[in-house]
Amino acid sequence: MKESPRNDRHLERVKIMSCNVPRLLPYHKMMEYVKSIDIGSIGNVKDFCEDLAECYRHLSECLPLLASFYLKMPQKDLIWFSNQVNTFHVVLGGDGAPFGKDKTAFAFFVSFLNRGKHILSSTENFLTFGANCGETSVAVQRFVKFLLHEMLEMENRSFSVNGYTIKFTFSEFSNDLKMLAFLAGELPVSATYFSTFANVNIKNCDEIFFTLGTSVTCNWH
């Protein structure tokens, strides 16, 4: 703001190239709006493991809310596959990695294939589970079983959203090979070998005098 040249007691907004500079948005006003957004109920990961206190979301609440948001957009921004109008194709995937001070962290994300190229954007990939635990931990195993129950239930019913009757189908599981093996109940190669390009394994990885190379004298190749 600046003092008005017409009135010393009056302030007016600063202009640049005849355009008003945007007003600052106070933090408390922003949070008041953010908290007013209905995102459904938030579950506690303690439901799956008492040692954890992070959060997860129910797909049965999360996906209809997400569909409601997209249905308010111009229909040209949505892709309906095989003329299945109002059928949302869900992408569900998870991954774990070291994160800051935590030895490992795990997250599950969900998005819609109906958004086309936008699905590649991190702004349209939504968190449904997040915890400081391994990707094959007891908490994740129990959460996956919980997800399977929700997925089967959701695919066998219709939902009324914004005056539309919509359906959900789970079309893609964008996981790496280790996660896919885990979801299939198999033991992945990475449980023993860290890399597909070297024979370093969990039994000899702490041998500080081993050598790595292509020579027959090397312990690791």
Q: The tokens 């009056």 sit on which residue?
A: 10
Task: For residue 35, give Cα distances in angstroms to 28, 40, 41, 103.
Answer: 10, 12, 13, 31
Written as one letter, the residue type at 203 is K
Strand order in the sheet with 87-99: 42-44, 55-57, 126-131, 102-112, 87-99, 164-172, 159-161
Quick: pLDDT tens for 150-173: 999 999 999 999 899 999 999 988
Query: Domain boundaries in the chain?
Result: 41-185, 188-221
- Mean pLDDT over each residue of the chain, to the nearest integer: 85
Most confident of 41-50, 88-97, 177-186: 88-97
